[in-house]
Structures are given as structure tokens and as C-alpha cells.
Amino acid sequence: MSIAAATVALLPLLLFASTSPTPAITASGGGGGGWDNAHATFYGDKGGEGACGYDDVFKQGYGFETTALSVALFAGGWSCGGCYEIHCKGSTACRRGATVTVTATNLCPANYSKPYENWCNPPLKHFDLSKRMFLNLITDYRVGIIPVTFRRVACAGKSGGVRFEMKGNQWWVTVLVFNVGGAGDVRAMAVRGSRDGRWLDMSRNWGMIWNGDVRMEGQGLSFRVATGDGRAIVFDGVVPPTWMVGQTFQGNRQF
């Protein structure tokens, strides 16, 4: 992995506007939405690619501290990378004082053929936790589903800087951004080639995969990343001109 310099700036949100309805995160990276009610279940602890585009949540540093979000919370993928503090509340199976903090890495899909059986259908707020996180909240896994309270929080304790995995092909810049601290969710990205020298807005493809829609083969790349709290970092020269699809590069700064 290469290490590149980065600069931090607080930018007006209107420069990086999105249609995301996700809860607010303050400029300092703390939660801004207060506590809300939801329910939680669990899924098998798998590391494969999900609706946020992460290739392997274990290799990419998220581990077992993950959750899939119901459609209402997922917000079309804009919530990917955001962190949530979750308490079990209102069930006899709750561990006293138990809480977990997890990162949104996947979607719990709706099933409109069973509107009264699927907790992930809108407008319900629901977390489908990794099994390990679910067991941290309860004393008896056979309960299956539990009431919880939750809030958005800052994504803390990231190891190393923000990372960029090159996808697509050498002619069209497509990148997965991950290991994002602070607000965790990416609201806007721009790319600059070492020969072109101008910033070009990137478009979100799906999850946290962003398209540059430009040819930049043989150029070193810089990225500007803006998160949901209105902060932005410029990762100058983070990708060398010799980059290849499948490689991951790391900046030396975090949100």
C-alpha cells in the first residue's frame, strides 16, 4: 500500500449535497440524532460482498462488528459505512447494560410478498446483526428477535488511513472507499489525475463504490472525500501511475 499526504478541510454541505435521509453526524464526528427504537435479528457471520460493495468485511477491518440495515435505514446505500450504537431494551433476554457498536455493511432486503412477516420492509427500522453482536446483547439466542434502541455515533478506532480499492478497469476509474472514520458514510468524491490536474466529480455507483467516468490510465490519482458531517480530506497522490485493478491504496489521514 502506498502512503500519501492528505489535507483536512471543513466544507459547506451544499458543495457536497446528497439526497441521503440518514441521521446527522456533527462536524466533530459525534452522533447527532439521539436515540430511536428498532428491532434486531442476526445472520450468519459471513465476510463476502454485500450491498455496500465491501469485498470482505474481515479483511477490510470491519470484523464481526457489522450489521445489515432495513430498507428504511439503508437509504439506498447512503448509510453504508455509518456506525450505530445499539442497546437491547424491553426483552427478558437482554443482557443488563449490554451495548454494541456496529458498522453498516449490507442491506436487509424487503420482502413485499410477506409485508407482515419481514422486519426489513419499509418503514420499519431494523438491524440484522452478525451473530456474535446479537449474542453480545442477549442471554438466549432462541428469542430470535429483540427490541432495541439505537443512535448514530462516530466510527472510532480505525486502524490506518482511509483506503481505496481500484475496481472497474484501467480506462474507467471505479473505486471502493472504506475504513472511513468519523461520520463513516461518504457523501461525495472527486478525482484528479496527475496529468489532467483538475478535479472531476465522481458519481456513486452503488454502496460505497464510486465511478470517475473518465480515462486516467497511467496517471497518479488524488481523491477528495467528503463525509456526512460536512468534512473533507484531500488524499493527494494516494494512487501511483502504475496502479492496477484490484490494488488497494491507503492515505495517511483519517476523519
- Give 107-142 as a DSSP string: E----TTSTTT-TTSTT--EEEEEHHHHHHHBS-GG
Q: Is residue 31 part of a domain?
A: no
First vs last C-alpha separation in the chain: 19
Give the end of a domain, one of 99, 119, 153.
153
> Residue 116 is which amino acid?
Y
What's the confidence (pLDDT) of residue 2?
40
| pLDDT over 60 at 114, yes or no | yes
Domain co-membership, 167 together with 145: no
| pLDDT over 50 at 14, yes or no | no
Higher pLDDT, 200 or 168: 200
Higher pLDDT, 81 or 23: 81
Higher pLDDT, 127 or 14: 127
Under a CB-based contact definition with an 8 Å cutoff, are residues 249 and 5 in contact? no
Domain co-membership, 149 together with 44: yes
Q: Is residue 25 part of a domain?
A: no
What's the confidence (pLDDT) of residue 21?
44
Q: Is residue 22 part of a domain?
A: no
Domain co-membership, 179 together with 124: no
Domain co-membership, 186 together with 228: yes
Mean pLDDT across 158-175: 88
Domain co-membership, 96 together with 145: yes
What's the confidence (pLDDT) of residue 28?
39
Q: Could you give the percent of the chain with pLDDT greater than 90?
A: 70
Q: Is residue 76 part of a domain?
A: yes
Least confident of 17-26, 28-37, 189-198: 17-26
Domain co-membership, 113 together with 164: no
Give the end of a domain, one of 133, 153, 173.
153
Please tell me the distance from the alpha carbon of residue 84 to that of residue 207, in angstroms, as a whole number.
17
Mean pLDDT across 136-164: 93
CATH code assigned at 185: 2.60.40.760
| pLDDT over 50 at 100, yes or no | yes
What's the confidence (pLDDT) of residue 49?
63
Strands 209-211 and 173-178: antiparallel
CA 246 to chain centre: 20
Under a CB-based contact definition with an 8 Å cutoff, are residues 254 and 158 in contact? yes
| pLDDT over 70 at 169, yes or no | yes
Q: Is residue 92 part of a domain?
A: yes
- The candidate with the shortest Cα–Cα distance to 107, out of 53, 164, 166, is 53
Domain co-membership, 149 together with 42: yes
pLDDT tens per residue across span 44-95: 766 556 899 998 999 999 999 999 999 999 999 999 999 999 999 989 999 9
Q: Is residue 145 part of a domain?
A: yes
Least confident of 17-21, 89-93, 108-112, 177-181: 17-21
Domain co-membership, 145 together with 99: yes
Residue 184 sits in which domain range? 3-16+160-251
Domain co-membership, 227 together with 148: no
> CA distances (Å), 35 to each of 31, 65, 87, 211, 251, in order?
10, 20, 10, 34, 33
CATH code assigned at 87: 2.40.40.10
What's the confidence (pLDDT) of residue 149?
97
Count structural domains, the chain: 2
Domain co-membership, 93 together with 201: no
State the pLDDT confidence band at 31, using cuts at 50, 70 and 90: very low
Q: Could you give the percent of the chain with pLDDT greater than 70?
A: 84
Domain co-membership, 140 together with 232: no
Domain co-membership, 11 together with 40: no
Give the end of a domain, one of 92, 125, 153.
153
pLDDT tens per residue across span 175-195: 999 999 999 999 999 999 999
| pLDDT over 50 at 247, yes or no | yes
Q: Is residue 136 part of a domain?
A: yes
What's the confidence (pLDDT) of residue 238?
97
